[in-house]
Structure 1
Amino acid sequence: METISAIVGWINGIVWGPPMLVLILGVGLFLQVVLKFMPIRRLGTGFKMLWAGRQASGAGQISPFNALMTALSATIGTGNIAGVATAVFLGGPGALFWMWMTALVGMATKYAEAVLAVKYREQDELGNYVGGPMYYIRNGLSSKWHWMAPTFAGFGAIAAFGIGNTVQSNSVAHVMDTSFGLPPLVTGIIIMLLTGAVVLGGITRIASVAGKLVPFMAVFYVLAGLIVLLANFGSLGHAFGLVISNAFTATAAEGGFAGAAVWAAIRFGVARGVFSNEAGLGSSPIAHAAAATAGPVSQGLIAMLGTFIDTIIVCSISGLAIITTGVWTSGESGAALTTMAFDSALPGVGGYVVAIALSIFAFTTILGWSYYGEKCVEYFLGVKSLVPFRVLWCIAVPLGAAADLGFIWLLADTLNAMMAIPNLIALALLAPVVVKLTREYFASGGKSESSTPAE
Structure 2
Amino acid sequence: MTTITTAADAATEAAIQVATQPSNTETILNQINGFVWGPPLLILLVGTGVYFTFRLSLLQFRYLPYALALVFKKDPNPKTGDVSSFSALCTALSATIGTGNIVGVATAIKLGGPGALFWMWMAALFGMVTKYAECLLAVKYRKIDANGQINGGPMHYLEAATGNKFLAKIFAFFAIGVAFFGIGTFAQVNAIVDSAHNVFHLPEIATAVILTTLVAIVTLGGIKSIARVASTVVPVMALGYVLTCTMLLIFNASAVPAALQNIISSAFTGHAAAGGFAGAGIMLAIQAGVARGVFSNESGLGSAPIAAAAAKTDSCVRQGLINMTGTFLDTIIICTMTGLALVVTGVWSGDAAGAGMTTQAFAAGLGSNWGPKLVSTGLIFFAFTTILGWNYYGERCAAYLFGTKAIFPYKLIFIGLIASGVFLQLNTIWILADIVNGLMAIPNLIGLLLLRKVVIAETQSYFEQRRRINVGTDLNSDMA
Q: TM-score range by the shorter chain?
A: over 0.9
AA partner of residue 142 (structure 2)? R
After superposition, the Cα gap between the structure-2 partners of 1:390 and 1:119, relative to the gap in structure 1 and judged at 3 Å, is same
User: Aligned-pair distance for 1:185?
Assistant: 3.4
Which residue of the partner structure matches residue 122 of structure 1?
Answer: 143
Asked if residue 88 in structure 1 is aligned to residue 88 in structure 2, the reply is: no
Between stretches 262-271 and 434-443, larger displacement belongs to 262-271
Which residue of the partner structure matches residue 252 of structure 2?
Answer: 232
8 Å contact from structure 1 (residues 32, 39) kept in 2: yes
After superposition, the Cα gap between the structure-2 partners of 1:344 and 1:55, relative to the gap in structure 1 and judged at 3 Å, is farther
Which of residues 310, 324, 332 in structure 2 aligns to 1:312? 332
Between stretches 407-416 and 363-372, larger displacement belongs to 407-416
CA distance in 1 between partners of 2:418 and 2:203 (Å)? 14
User: Aligned-pair distance for 1:142?
Assistant: 3.5
Between stretches 39-48 and 193-202, larger displacement belongs to 39-48
CA distance in 2 between partners of 1:403 and 1:268 (Å)? 27
User: Aligned-pair distance for 1:406?
Assistant: 3.5
CA distance in 2 between partners of 1:367 and 1:258 (Å)? 37
**1:191-230 pair list within 5 angstroms:** 191-230=211-250
8 Å contact from structure 1 (residues 175, 335) kept in 2: no
Q: 1:273-298 deviations in whole A, cap 9, x for unaligned?
A: 11110000100000000100121001
8 Å contact from structure 1 (residues 90, 265) kept in 2: yes
Q: 1:343-363 deviations in whole A, cap 9, x for unaligned?
A: 112111111111111101110
**1:21-420 pair list within 5 angstroms:** 21-53=42-74, 57-143=78-164, 146-161=165-180, 162-347=182-367, 348-420=369-441
Q: 1:254-282 deviations in whole A, cap 9, x for unaligned?
A: 11112223232222212211111000010
Q: Secondary structure at the match of 2:267?
A: coil
Between stretches 117-126 and 245-254, larger displacement belongs to 245-254
User: Aligned-pair distance for 1:446?
Assistant: 8.0
CA distance in 2 between partners of 1:68 and 1:37 (Å)? 22
CA distance in 2 between partners of 1:411 and 1:384 (Å)? 28
TM-score by length of structure 1 reads 0.95
After superposition, the Cα gap between the structure-2 partners of 1:210 and 1:55, relative to the gap in structure 1 and judged at 3 Å, is farther
Between stretches 397-406 and 95-104, larger displacement belongs to 397-406
User: Aligned-pair distance for 1:55?
Assistant: 8.3
AA partner of residue 75 (structure 1)? T
8 Å contact from structure 2 (residues 237, 378) kept in 1: yes
AA partner of residue 147 (structure 1)? F
User: Aligned-pair distance for 1:184?
Assistant: 3.3
Which residue of the partner structure matches residue 434 of structure 1?
Answer: 455
CA distance in 2 between partners of 1:130 and 1:157 (Å)? 15
AA partner of residue 66 (structure 2)? T
CA distance in 2 between partners of 1:217 and 1:289 (Å)? 24
Asked if residue 2 in structure 1 is aligned to residue 55 in structure 2, the reply is: no
**Where does structure 2 lack aligned partners over 5 or more consecutive residues?**
1-21, 470-480
The runs of at least 4 consecutive aligned structure 1 residues that moved more than 4 Å come to none
8 Å contact from structure 1 (residues 54, 65) kept in 2: no
Root-mean-square deviation (Å): 1.7
8 Å contact from structure 1 (residues 159, 415) kept in 2: yes
CA distance in 1 between partners of 2:296 and 2:430 (Å)? 12
After superposition, the Cα gap between the structure-2 partners of 1:120 and 1:305, relative to the gap in structure 1 and judged at 3 Å, is same
User: Aligned-pair distance for 1:17?
Assistant: 1.1
Q: Percent identity?
A: 48
CA distance in 2 between partners of 1:263 and 1:185 (Å)? 43
